[in-house]
Each structure stands twice: as structure tokens, then as C-alpha cells.
Amino acid sequence: MRIVLGVEYAGNAFEGFQSQAHGRTVQDHLETAIGHIAAHPVRLHCAGRTDAGVHATAQVVHFDTESVRPNSGWVRGVNSRLSSPVVVRWATEAGDVFHARFCAVSRRYRYILHNSPVRPALLAGRVGWFHPPLDETVMADAARCLEGWHDFSAFRAAGCQAKSPVKLMHEVRVQRTGDYIVFDFWANAFLHHMVRNLVGALVYVGKGRHSTAWLAEVLAARDRSLAALTFPADGLYLCGVEYAPHWSLPGEGRIIAVPRIPFV
């Protein structure tokens, strides 16, 4: 049978999602914990392979097993074997044709940026930081050019393994709450480092280094060397993965709130 789990983790406690020889990844920790409950080794497949330092409030993974456990048993049992930076939020059984990555129809990422002269202490590793003042209205105007079908090569990491750089960006939102600027991205799929590269470019616009038209010019040029530097992973959250309704998955995505008090 195929079991699907909804997973949440603090990415700064791990060296990315994907399994590595050193074992310090989200996948390695989850596979070990699940293997204890399933009583056999398992191999996980995820909706999005987040980088080191990137968090998730709504990651989706699946694995195959012949072991029969109630859904509540997969949740409580696996969690009893996990350290605090990662937790299983829900579990359900799906058909063998379900795949956490290939059946996903869209994904949502949120980047939370602390825009203040002084760096955050209690939120270190959980939010990004940029000390010069930023104009969120200008950034929101510039971001409109990103919506729709586009070739996002200008915002693609050199080592990206995606077959095509063309993605459908459903929506981009930029808004401020106090000292925090929140960037929300909703697309059918994302390239490696795409969100962090887009945030970096929008920050260039927000601090007045480039005009709002510059972002559209970089997008059209499809040249990574023309864009901004990759922004740090600290403030990035995978906060939603959408599937067709017939899968009846319990997770609708959890959007991390804009912090008004420290949430460490």
C-alpha cells in the first residue's frame, strides 16, 4: 500500500531534504523513523526537495509498505522517533498511482523578510534580513510581470535539473506587516533557487537600485548573469502543495504567519 504523509520541519536543523551520505537531511531522519514503525526500510518521495536552511509547513511525502497501521499510528509512531525540528502532521493511504511529486498540480512558497536596521536574534534562521529600507509597493508592481507562463532561466540555479525552465506562475504577492515584508509565490512548479533568486531581484528593485521595468527585462533576457544574487534560505517556507480533489488528501497547506511575536 502507499502511505502519504504531511510533514513540517525547520530547515535550519538539516542539510536539505534529499538524502545524503552523512545522514543529516530531512529524508534521512524521516526514513529512519518510518522504518522503525513499518519494521522494514522505506524510501521516501517528496513534493519538493528543499535546500539546506529552507523550511516547510506543508511538505508532502509518500512511501510503500505492506505493514498495516492506522493513520494515527503512522503519525504518533513516527513522531515518537523524530527530533523536534521535524514532525508528521497527518497520514493517509493513497492508490499506487499516486506520486507526491508528479501528481502535484501546484506549489506555494512564502519568503518572510525582516526589514529593519538591526538583525533579528530570536528569529535567526527563521526569517531573512535586509537592513536598508525597502519599498514594498514598488516591489509588488514589479512582481506583476512574473505572473503567467514564462521562461525563468534568469532565476535558475546553474545546477538545476528541471527538464524545462518554463513554468506557470499563478500569483505573486508582496506585502508589508510592520518590519516584515512577505513574498508569496504560487506556481505549477519551481526551478532550483528560483524563489530565492526572485526575492533577490525584487529587493534590488525595492531598494531603488533598479526600476520596476528592470525585472521584466531580466525575465525576457533569460540570462542568469543579469539578475541579482541568490537570497539566503533563512526566510523561505514551502507552505502548500495542491493536488486534484479526487486524491482527497487532508492537507490543504499551512501558511506560516507573519510574526508579531517570536515563533522560535
* 47-71 pLDDT, tens digit each: 999 999 999 999 999 999 999 999 9
pLDDT digits (tens, 9 = 90+) for 200-242: 999 999 999 999 999 999 999 999 999 999 999 999 999 999 9
Asked whether 156 and 229 are in contact (CB, 8 A), the reply is no
pLDDT tens for 6-53 read 999 999 999 999 988 897 999 999 999 999 999 999 999 999 999 999
pLDDT band at residue 250 using 50, 70 and 90 as cut-offs:
confident
pLDDT confidence bin for 262, thresholds 50/70/90: very low
Question: How many angstroms separate the CA atoms of 87 and 225, rounded?
Answer: 38
Provide the CB-side half-sphere exposure for 236 (13 A, CA). 25
pLDDT of residue 256: 61
Q: Active site residue: 28, 51, 135, 141, which one?
A: 51
pLDDT in tens, 122-176: 999 999 999 999 999 999 999 999 999 999 999 999 889 899 999 999 999 999 9
Q: Which domains, ranges and CATH numbers included, belong to the chain?
A: 2-103 (3.30.70.580), 106-238 (3.30.70.660)
Rounded to 5 degrees, φ, ψ at 153 are -60, -30
Grid cell 534568469 in the structure block, residue: 154
Q: Is 64 a catalytic residue?
A: no
pTM: 0.93
Distance CA 242, CA 108 (A): 8
Q: Given pLDDT bands bounded at 50, 70 and 90, which one contains residue 248?
A: confident
pLDDT at 263: 39
Question: pLDDT digits over 98-110, tens only?
Answer: 999 999 999 999 9
